[in-house]
Amino acid sequence: MDIRFYHAPDANCCERLLWILDYKSVVYERIDVGLGDVGPLVRLHSPFARVPLMEVNGIPLSESMAMAEFIEEIAPNPPLQYTDAFARAQVREICEAINSSIHPQQNGSTVKYFHPDWSREQMRPLRANWLFINLEKLQSRLWQQSQFVVGDQFTMADIFVSIIYRKALDLGRVATELPLYEQHWQFLMSHAAIRDACPIAT
Ligand SMILES: N[C@@H](CCC(=O)N[C@@H](CS)C(=O)NCC(=O)O)C(=O)O
């Protein structure tokens, strides 16, 4: 299978996928594009001209959640999902909370739509605050059985959660404001196989 992955720096949706691809040692070609200017191919095949975009045997696939589930199906080992149907739904619940309920409102192009005169620098406090208040709300649903986000294994939910947490820090929040997320991040980084595949490992 021929996989090309269009990636932009600082794009947390891309970081989710890089982590998944590398954790599973999937072979792919990475193509770097700009976050502000994604280039003609991404503009043509991604309905909202956003990254990530994947091409599988030349056929485009957008949306990071769809890509994450596709990769899980073609490369099930090491797993980033459970076999039990309800546990799988719980993993998706958290991924979708990040992907659908938290991430879109702070996206650069969304904020630009409502504040066309703002520079990227001016957007940072609003974006950071949105992430902070929603991560605070989400945390009651996390780490209920172990230090992993759902159940007792590393799953794609750990990846979605920790990547968006690190975005909140990039935008100006500090680790002491979200101590449970920081603890989770440090826990993940203490596992070599997890850390080595992480595109933003510290
Ligand atoms: N729901 C989409 C979101 C994609 C998305 O928002 N990508 C961001 C980077 S994380 C982007 O391309 N932002 C540039 C823009 O909004 O124009 C997915 O999960 O792939």
- How many angstroms is it from 107 CA to the middle of ligand 1? 7
For residues 100, 74, 158 and 6, what is the CA-based torsion angle, rounded to 10 degrees?
Answer: -60
Q: Whose CA is nearest to atom 12 of ligand 1?
A: 50
Residue range 154-173, pLDDT digits in tens: 999 999 999 999 999 999 99
18 lies in the same domain as 100: no
CB 133 within 8 A of CB 106: no
Give the global pTM: 0.97
Q: Is residue 80 part of a domain?
A: no
User: For residue 25, what are the domain limits?
Assistant: 3-74
Examine the domain organization and report whether 104 and 177 are in the same domain: yes
Q: Output the CA 146–ligand 1 centroid distance in Å.
A: 30
**Does 79 reside within a domain?**
no
The last residue of a domain, from among 52, 74, 96? 74
Predicted confidence (pLDDT) at residue 202 exceeds the cutoff of 90? no
- Pick the residue whose CA is nearest to atom 13 on ligand 1: 50
CA distance 148 to 192: 15
Q: Mean pLDDT score of the chain, rounded to an integer? A: 96
**CA distance linking residue 149 with residue 160, whole number of Å:** 10
> Amino acid identity, residue 172?
G
Domain end call among 42, 74, 106: 74
The verdict on 60 and 99 lying in the same domain is: no
The residues lining ligand 1, judged by C-beta closer than 6 Å to any ligand atom, are 11-13, 35, 50-52, 63-65, 99, 107-109
The pLDDT tens digits of the residues spanning 143-158 come to 999 999 999 999 999 9
Strands laid side by side in the 29-32 sheet? 29-32, 3-7, 53-56, 59-62
Q: Which of 1, 2, 5 is nearest to 61 (CA)?
A: 5
Domain at 52, CATH number? 3.40.30.10
> Do both 190 and 94 map to the same domain?
yes
Question: What is the total count of domains within the chain?
Answer: 2
| CA 165 to ligand 1 center in whole angstroms | 16
Atom of ligand 1 lying closest to residue 50 CA: 12
